[in-house]
Structure 1
Amino acid sequence: MQPSDFKFPAGFLWGTATSAYQIEGSADVDGRTPSIWDSFARTPGRVENGDTGDVACDSYRRVEEDVALLSELGVKAYRFSISWSRVMPAGRGELNPLGIAYYRRLVDLLHDAGIMPMATLYHWDLPQVLHDEGGWLNRRCAYDFAQYARAMFDALGDRVAVWFTINEPWCASMLSHAMGMHAPGEKDLGNAVTVAHHLLLAHGLAVKEFRRTEQPGRIGMAPNVEWHEPYSCHPDDVAACERGLDWFNRWFIDPIYHGRYPQGLLARYAVLGIHPPVEDGDMAIIGQRTDLLGINYYTGGYTREAIRAMLATPADAFQQIDALRHLQTVNVAGFRKTDIGWDIYADGFYKVLTWLKDEYGNPPLLITENGACDNTEPDATGRVDDALRIEYHRRHVIALDRALRSGCDLRGYTAWSLLDNFEWAHGYSKRFGLVHVDFQTQQRTPKESFRWYQRLIREGGFAV
């Protein structure tokens, strides 16, 4: 091996990922009931171009085709999510046999192809019937989730090797309940803090069910993280970055590994009259031992103390968030951006991974999402030359190699995403897939990034 080669351990797990609402379609067939994303997407003005996930990639009906693509790609693992309202239409209680059969069929196809199934229990699509009862603002929802999780362990646990409880709880709380950008589209920071706590409680309760049933697999959560690099060594810039890490990273990971919320952010919330609804025993439940931590990383940047003064009495959720964080991101010339407008900051990937090692005692990490929006369309020959996505993955895989060599306990890397899909509030206007999807015909076309990743997996690395 030459010094410029990047080789990974033989057992390193290469994979890719999707989520149910983004790819499955078949929104109202075989007993599935609406989720909050069905309702949100059908509300005028919520999603670009009025797009919905009603059809998406039609993967519910094309599951064999998509598993064949996974097999062609050569991945060792596939992370998918389960639609709660497809398998448990009332949100609790009776299971839907047709929904269970779909996921059983998927995992059987994966096993037949030699691919490890990794299931995510919650990727934001709460059954609408539960939301009508208060949703994640209602503490009962955490216990409903635990019941649903137990049912999935019983139904699929003999075939699923790795489970993730909650995907990106920051998005499911802050982006959805404080900033109004995702379903259910609310703008109340206090409610978002309550939702965040109930999501973490749901995680802990699900882990308890997993242990109680003595499942053979592994379980963890999959938060999204970002990296704030101080713009200078000035103490104010350093402090601003710490506030950013509290707000985005620590609030969702500290309770699992340290059994508490970050004290600085608790105090800043208290100034606003906001308190997470912690009851006796909650932190012990949330802090149940997990087997691994999933990490979703896309971007980061340079941060400094905000220039404007904090508002004495923030009037709305956005002003409250500004008051809490009191930082600003510095646009540094030279950072290339993806087609969704996010900086390509691979050095931040390395830094956040080593930070996680130091902050939480080097837990086993599996990169559950990492990818780039590149909207390149097929050329006249049908070839999709998504060079931006290849460059993004190349830089981040190098950062991954650096983190491994720095002692991080990294077990695998899951590229987001297998398919172009419904990109939440952006609808179908943003493409993250290794495979191009024509949403009119559902034709799938592997992109050049698919071929690049295929070679990386086959060779266990690459040469520069």
Structure 2
Amino acid sequence: MTSFLHRADFGADFIWGTATAAFQIEGATISDGRGASVWDTFSQKRGAIKTGENALMACDFYNRYATDIALNKEMGFDAFRFSISWSRVLPLGTGRVNEAGLAFYDRVIDECIRQGQTPWVTLFHWDLPQALEDRGGWANRDVLTWFADYVTLIVRTFGHKVKHWFVLNEPSAFTILGYLVGMHAPGRRSFTSIPAVIHHAALAQADGGRIIRDNVPGAVIGTTFSCSPVEPISPMKRDVQAAQRANALLNRLFIEPTLGLGYPVQELPFLKTIDKRFAKPGDRERLAFDFDLIGLQHYFRVVVEQSMLVPYLWGRDVSPNRRGVEAITEMGWEVHPNSMLHILRQFSLYDGAHKWIVAESGAAFFDQVEHGQVIDTARTAYHLQCLQQVRQAQTDGVDIAGYFVWTLLDNFEWAEGYRPRFGLVHVDHRTQQRIIKQSGHWFRHFLTD
């Protein structure tokens, strides 16, 4: 596949990596003193995981990390993004430290460095310790203290080796999906507590950045947001207003308080509850933090129509199937030609924002092993299309620092189980055999030629 692009086009300092998450790849969920997370509990609920599977083994990264990091290197990447399991290092979320958990991440970091792979650490990728959820989780303001203690432990332990940090992964996902609609862990459906959950996550994001800055000299500090261009299904006022509300929820909810702009209460009036019930003096200032870079994680665009059946938004996504779209992924997501470019341009309009980085980009397609190979032409084309749009955004003046592929390995894809495969490396979850897919070989040629 011809790319008409070269690695050098993006700049000598452009970062190339893959991204992963602890719960999705590590396995060893009951090994070496690890405590339960909300995803361990959620996975046991009947019907919570579409396939009925769990992450007890996942990709066995806990035991195979050295060979998996070597695969990342073999494909030409120079950065490896992984998250730390809070409950592996603090089994009860607070208090007693599990030294075996810290030792594991110490080995992973050392292996990255040994193989020339820069470690990029995500502090929270959705797996809150179950013991803390039992005490109210993100709805309890005490989570700010719990999170601060956890972050302090991690950055003081590893800050002399790790200089690149993301505080939260997609706060809109774990708050809305986990606490409002119940599709993800912890599986709550609460209209009354969701403003508190949002507020505490936004405060924790800024608090985490300050803790890193105070403890890690020379740190590059970021956080990540899921984002999608939002369009109305029609030019009718009701659909346009529904799209504006969806854009506020999906794209503005967490970045604007981070930039000191406050919450988008005009489009989402339910957020006024934060000031009325949950905020304390000084919170607005506390929400803001000057991150060194912002991670954007983009997969699809959203087309919205008005719907009085969806509280708060009064609108709903019009699925690609309903719109007659044929280019869709295994997740049912539309592959839209200019979606990445549109979202990069949209976020670049914020005043005072610093560098941007594509912290996740990927697509799940049906993969098949034939004669020891996986020919995933659609995934290769997807990444090429995204990279072309990233390059165009650079040409337009958007300061983009790098591109992280989601993901290195076919993994446990949250509530979807193992069916959707996003990886550049195929994993047989019965044997744990790894096979670099055609897309992985394409990246190797692109990044090393």
TM score, norm. by length of structure 2: 0.94
* Structure 2: distance between partners of 1:275 and 1:105: 46
Q: Partner of 2:303 in structure 1? A: 302
Q: Partner of 1:196 in structure 2? A: 198
Q: Which consecutive unaligned segments of at least 5 residues does structure 2 have?
A: none
Q: How does 1:44-443 map to 2 (within 5 A)?
A: 44-233=46-235, 235-269=237-271, 277-303=278-304, 305-306=305-306, 308=307, 310=308, 319-323=310-314, 325=315, 328=318, 331-379=322-370, 381-443=371-433
The superposition leaves residues 121-160 of structure 1 with CA deviations (integer Å, 9 ceiling, x where unpaired) of 1111101111111111110012111110011111111111
* Structure 1: distance between partners of 2:45 and 2:265: 38
Q: What letter corresponds to residue 135 of structure 2 in structure 1?
A: E
DSSP 3-state at the match of 1:125: coil
Residue 92 of structure 1, CA deviation: 1.3
Q: 1:384 to 1:257 in 2, by over 3 A?
A: same
- 1:33·1:127 contact (CA, 8 Å) conserved in 2? yes
Q: 1:346 to 1:189 in 2, by over 3 A?
A: farther
* Structure 1: distance between partners of 2:39 and 2:368: 27
DSSP 3-state at the match of 1:48: coil
Higher deviation after alignment, 65-74 or 353-362: 353-362
DSSP 3-state at the match of 2:328: coil
* Structure 1: distance between partners of 2:3 and 2:411: 38
Q: 1:358 to 1:276 in 2, by over 3 A?
A: farther
DSSP 3-state at the match of 2:192: helix
DSSP 3-state at the match of 2:401: strand
The superposition leaves residues 348-382 of structure 1 with CA deviations (integer Å, 9 ceiling, x where unpaired) of 21011111111244421111110000121201x11
* Structure 1: distance between partners of 2:194 and 2:231: 26
- 2:260·2:285 contact (CA, 8 Å) conserved in 1? no
Q: 1:407 to 1:141 in 2, by over 3 A?
A: same
Q: What letter corresponds to residue 403 of structure 1 in structure 2?
A: A
- 1:229·1:301 contact (CA, 8 Å) conserved in 2? yes
Q: 1:85 to 1:329 in 2, by over 3 A?
A: same
DSSP 3-state at the match of 1:320: coil
- 2:260·2:287 contact (CA, 8 Å) conserved in 1? no
Q: Which consecutive unaligned segments of at least 5 residues does structure 1 have?
A: 312-318, 460-464
Q: 1:211 to 1:3 in 2, by over 3 A?
A: closer
- 1:259·1:286 contact (CA, 8 Å) conserved in 2? no
* Structure 2: distance between partners of 1:57 and 1:252: 31
* Structure 1: distance between partners of 2:96 and 2:49: 32
Q: What letter corresponds to residue 68 of structure 2 in structure 1?
A: D
Q: 1:25 to 1:3 in 2, by over 3 A?
A: closer
- 2:248·2:268 contact (CA, 8 Å) conserved in 1? no
DSSP 3-state at the match of 1:49: coil
- 2:181·2:189 contact (CA, 8 Å) conserved in 1? yes
Q: Partner of 1:458 in structure 2? A: 448
* Structure 1: distance between partners of 2:266 and 2:317: 15
Q: Partner of 1:462 in structure 2? A: none
* 1:12 equivalent in alignment to 2:22: no
Q: 1:281 to 1:266 in 2, by over 3 A?
A: farther
- 2:88·2:101 contact (CA, 8 Å) conserved in 1? yes
Q: 1:209 to 1:229 in 2, by over 3 A?
A: same
Give the % identical residues. Answer: 36
DSSP 3-state at the match of 1:164: strand
The superposition leaves residues 152-179 of structure 1 with CA deviations (integer Å, 9 ceiling, x where unpaired) of 1111111112111110111111011111
DSSP 3-state at the match of 1:445: strand
DSSP 3-state at the match of 1:299: coil
Alignment coverage as a number of residue pairs: 445
* Structure 1: distance between partners of 2:276 and 2:77: 44
Higher deviation after alignment, 64-73 or 15-24: 64-73
DSSP 3-state at the match of 2:446: helix
The superposition leaves residues 271-312 of structure 1 with CA deviations (integer Å, 9 ceiling, x where unpaired) of x99967221112212202211111110001433x42x5x36x
Q: What letter corresponds to residue 245 of structure 1 in structure 2?
A: N
Q: 1:214 to 1:422 in 2, by over 3 A?
A: closer
* Structure 1: distance between partners of 2:422 and 2:232: 29
Q: 1:3 to 1:165 in 2, by over 3 A?
A: closer
Higher deviation after alignment, 241-250 or 52-61: 241-250
DSSP 3-state at the match of 1:170: helix
TM score, norm. by length of structure 1: 0.91
* Structure 2: distance between partners of 1:20 and 1:302: 32
